[in-house]
Structure 1
C-alpha cells in the first residue's frame, strides 16, 4: 500500500483528483459527480511525473514481461506512453479513436511490426470502452496486446466485465477504492461524504 499511497499523494498534490460534495463536477458525458480526475495535471510536476512513470514501468515489467512496444490511447494516454517508452528504450505508437480522414488515413500513428508484444497505456479507466477500442485496433493490425496499464480506475463492475469479455488484462496503479481507504486512514473526509462517493460509484455501475 505504501507505493499506492505515494501515487495517491502525488495525484492530490497536483490537484489531479478533486472532490466537491456541495457543487458536483460535470463530466464530458454530462454526469454530475463528486469526484473529478485529470491526470494530465501530473505532467506539470516533474517529481510526481517521474514517480508515476517509474510505477508504470515497474508494473509493466512485472505484469507484462516481453513487452516490445508501448501504445498510448489518444489523447490522454499519449504523453504517458511517450515517457514510459523513452525510459524503457522501447518504440511507441498511439491510436486514434478513428482513422484520419486526410493524409495517409492512419488510425495507428508510429512504426510497429506485426506480432510485436504491446502494452496499452491509459490514464483513467471508467467503463474501459475507449481503451478496449484501442486494443481491438491494435489486434486487427496484427499486434499481440499483452494488456492495458492505467494510472487509475474507478473499479466499476462494468469495466471488469468489459475487460473479461474482451479477454484483456487490466492493471491500474490505484483505484477509487484505494482512495477511499486512504481517506479513512488519514481522516480526510467524514463518513457521510465517503458514503456519498461510494453511492455514486454504485450509481455508475447501474
Structure 2
C-alpha cells in the first residue's frame, strides 16, 4: 500500500507493561503528520503532538476529517507551531446544509450563533445547568 510507517499515540502512557504512550517505531527527527477524526478544542491532538515531539518526532501538521474551527483550537495550534488542516469544517457544513435546504435560514442563524460562542451559548440561551 503506502509503505509509510504508522505510530499510534495513546492519550496517556499505559500503566502496565512497557508503559508506552506511543506504539510503533518513531525515529529521532522523523517527520510525522498527525491524523485526527475530529478537532474541537484541540486538546487531545495537541497532547499527541507534545508526546511525539518529546519522543523525538517532528510534527508540523495535523489533519482532521472534521474541525469545528473554534478560535481557541486554531490559536493553540498556531502557538505550538503546528498547522491545522481539515477535510470539512463546521462553517462549510452549515453552508452546505442551508444550500441544500436541510436547515432553514433561522436554523442556520442559530447554528452560526452557537459557533460564534460555543462555550457560553447554552447559558445565554436558557440551557444553563439546573441544580438537582
TM-score, normalised relative to structure 1: 0.56
Who is 1:96 aligned against? 10
Structure 2: unaligned runs, 5 residues or longer: 121-132
CA distance in 2 between partners of 1:122 and 1:197 (Å): 24
Conservation of the 8 A alpha-carbon contact between 2:26 and 2:56: no
Conservation of the 8 A alpha-carbon contact between 1:156 and 1:205: no
TM-score, normalised relative to structure 2: 0.86
Deviations 1:98-157 (A, max 9, x none): 111100011001112111111001001001010001000000111111310000100111
Match of 1:133 among 19, 24, 47: 47
Asked if 1:124 corresponds to 2:22, the answer is: no
Larger Rg computed on CA atoms:
2
Who is 1:149 aligned against? 63
> Counterparts of 1:21-170 in structure 2 under 5 Å?
87-170=1-84
Structure 1: unaligned runs, 5 residues or longer: 1-86
Q: Secondary structure of the equivalent of 1:98?
A: coil
CA distance in 1 between partners of 2:71 and 2:93 (Å): 17
Poorly superposed stretches of 4+, deviation over 6 Å = none
Conservation of the 8 A alpha-carbon contact between 2:26 and 2:55: no
More helix as a share of residues: 1
CA distance in 2 between partners of 1:181 and 1:141 (Å): 40
